Chain A
Amino acid sequence: MTVVGRTWERLTIPGKILAVVIPLGAVLTAGLAILIAVIGGAVVQFLVDNLPLVRFVVAATIVLLMTVPSAFLIIYMEMKVIALMNLRYGPDRVGPFGSALSVVHGLKVLMKEDFTPTGADVPVFTLAPVVVYMSSVMSLLVLPFAPGLFGQDFNIGLLYFFAMGGLTVVGLLMAGWSSFNKYSLLGGLRSAAQVISYEIPLTLSVVGVILLAGTMSLNQIVLGQAGNLFDWYIWRQPLAFVVFFIAVTAEANRTPFDLTEADSEIVAGFATEYSGMRFGFFFFAEYVNVFIASGLTVAVFLGGWNAPFNWPWPVAVGLDPGSLGIGLLLLLTLGPPLAIVVLGLPFYLLNSRIRFWQALIIGFGLFNVIAVAAVLGLAFLSFDWVVGLLWFMGKTYVFVFTFVWMRGTLPRVRIDQLMGFAWKWLLPAALLNLFVTAFAILVLNR
């Protein structure tokens, strides 16, 4: 037994771990530093040269990461809102007001057994959820969230959007066909018929907007609605808005057009044979689709990230941290403790039951709230995209609420009524809207 061996024996388990990790980390850091020193410049140069590519990769990653939390949020909304409309409490056990329940649902879905039924067409069966999910995520890429905050600004943005929306149906058909189940087959074929029928009025209804805006880029369409409430396209295209909203409801397979997964008729439609995370992909894709449908409605007809009115008193933040000099250091070191004590003192003085340390904790909490609010407020005033994102998300979630609200209220339509409605009512209305718009543009521009 050598000296090294004896020392090793005396170490505790955390000590052993640290004794390994620290030298390893040091070596790796050194290696990385050398690597950066050698090829870093070239990499940075490459990235700078190909900025659109970098932007695309970053945006795609962020969008992909964003889908799951937003799906969780919408699932929670759906559970809670429908429950409240049903005079139930809904989820109220996990997290504050049950808000973590959808996360738990996600974990449950991950832990479930993922099986493939006998007779299923395995490759197609496995790929179908991926196709559905990816088509949803990819249509999210062109949605303008805020000024400068969008994945990619195509000049054929809307067309790309509808193309990606149409890709969903391929995934649903794949799922329906490969499941080796007649309910799945019916669900898949229903979704094919439904989505293809409703794409026509959907596309035709936005042609009016495209004529008005003169572009198909979603970003340009939103920019064209800048100004106040009455510059939004909904006032110039009310009929198109109604047609678009109905068609987009059908595209997202939401009640009253949720025939593809009508549980009282065809069990769960295309998702009947799916379990585990594969079912989770369908589930998430459905709610991402709700978000997309709402976001698109907002972007095309309701001004996107434009505020409904202009803030009449512009606030300029003329604060320059550098001007404070050494005072900044004092403010950062002494400010927080002082603020904590000052905020906690009233509680200590007013209520004899609150002890000193409890008052300090309250003060700390209050200080944090104020500090975060101050930083956010600063950001709100300083950056355009924060304001834009807030308005966009606010409007979008109003529409998400409407979708959930409709699900809580309306019964389902029949398949022939669904088709008849699309071809007999929505399509003529969209065409009428298109002709009237074109005529008006022609007359007014003359």
Chain B
Amino acid sequence: MSLIPGLGIVRGMALTLRRFFQPKVTHLYPEVPAEISPKFRGRLQLLYDEHGTLKCETCFQCAQACPIECIDMGGVDTKGRFAVHWGASETYGERREESALRRAGRTVPDVAYEHWSPIDLSAVDAILHEADHDPRRLLEILGATQAAYGYLPVAALKRISFGTGAWYAMVYGTATYYHHLRFEPPARLAGADEPVAPTVESGRERVEADYLAALDQAIGPGSKRPAGRVN
């Protein structure tokens, strides 16, 4: 501070008045587009080659490398047959690895769950062949897979998705919807010889029973419906 009171204020005011007449620095954006350096990495667009075709060949390398999994892409394989998909796990319900599961807030059984554990998938292939690779028979396929393995391994789900062309999210969603399908080996009950594996039929009946109970509560028992089935 200077000895004369108010001199600093006056000098500041003089400085702002000088700036008042100086050339301005604002970029007049819509008229003058910003200069973007050639190294700029923030472009959110796919590049085209000189023939006008898309350079992206859906190799998913970018999606795999992206640490925050913000890249979501889908495409068609070389035969134009299967819809392939790689997306944000939290958004699509796809779980591609355990860290993604953790980030999605799901519990991951660290010990029992083996990341990419080698599983003999020939049983799944046989089931798929039997079901004619038909995604509309997904429930049957899933039931048979569970009957074969005792639970639904992730690799088997992936193989089913690959084989039927159904998105993994759909397969996973179907599998989580039914109570009788499970993702972990059934716990052995004390004293029991064999783990009780619920069948497709019993599971379906239980779902239907839930529906029937809800219906009864909603519209009253004895209402008109065809002999105990929910369509």
Contact = CB atoms under 8 A, between A and B. Distances in A.
A and B touch in their complex, CB below 8 angstroms? yes
A85 B16 contact: yes
B13 A87 contact: no
B53 interface: no
Interface string B34-64: 0000000000000000000000000000000
A380 to B, nearest CB: 30
Contacts of A84: 19-20, 24
Interface string A184-220: 0000000000000000000000000000000000000
A436 to B, nearest CB: 20
Contacts of A296: none
B12 interface: yes
Contact of A85 (B9, B19, B26, B28): B19
Contact of A409 (B13, B25, B26, B28): B13
Contacts of B2: none
Contact of A89 (B9, B12, B24): B24
Contact of B13 (A81, A88, A89, A406): A406
B159 to A, nearest CB: 56
B78 interface: no
A406 B17 CA distance: 10
Given A409-B12, A410-B9, A410-B12, A89 B17 contact: no
A405 B22 contact: no
A221 B26 CA distance: 47
B6 to A, nearest CB: 9
A86 B17 CA distance: 10
Contacts of A409: 9, 12-13, 15-16
Question: DSSP majority for the B interface?
Answer: helix
A89 B28 contact: yes
A98 interface: no
How large, as a class, is the contact surface on chain B? Answer: 10 to 19
Contacts of B12: 409-410
B17 A405 contact: yes
A86 B19 CA distance: 7
A89 B23 CA distance: 9
Contact of B20 (A85, A89, A406): A85
Contacts of B24: 84, 87-89
A405 B19 CA distance: 11
A276 interface: no
A106 interface: no
Interface string A81-122: 100111111000000000000000000000000000000000
A84 B22 CA distance: 8
A81 B19 CA distance: 11
A406 B10 CA distance: 10
B19 A89 contact: no
A308 B3 CA distance: 34
A86 B16 CA distance: 8
A408 interface: yes
A302 to B, nearest CB: 19
Interface string A157-196: 0000000000000000000000000000000000000000
Contacts of B26: 87-89
A87 B16 contact: no
A414 to B, nearest CB: 16
B151 to A, nearest CB: 54
Given A84-B20, A87-B19, A87-B22, A405 B13 contact: yes
Contacts of B20: 81, 84-85
Contacts of B25: 87-88
B14 to A, nearest CB: 9
A406 B22 CA distance: 18
A424 to B, nearest CB: 13
A408 B22 contact: no
A409 B22 CA distance: 16
A231 B82 CA distance: 95
Contacts of A88: 24-26
Interface string A379-422: 00000000000000000000000000110111000000000000
Contacts of B13: 405-406, 409
A409 B19 CA distance: 11
A40 B87 CA distance: 84
A408 B19 CA distance: 11
A40 B204 CA distance: 95
Contacts of A85: 16-17, 19-20
Nearest to B12: A409
Contacts of B19: 84-87
Nearest to B22: A87
B13 to A, nearest CB: 5
Given A87-B22, A410-B9, A405 B16 contact: yes
Interface in B92-151: none
B158 to A, nearest CB: 52
A88 B15 CA distance: 15
A336 B5 CA distance: 61
A165 B28 CA distance: 42
Interface of A: 81, 84-89, 405-406, 408-410
17 contacts: A84-B19, A85-B17, A85-B20, A86-B19, A87-B24, A87-B25, A87-B26, A88-B25, A89-B26, A405-B16, A405-B17, A408-B16, A409-B12, A409-B13, A409-B15, A409-B16, A410-B9
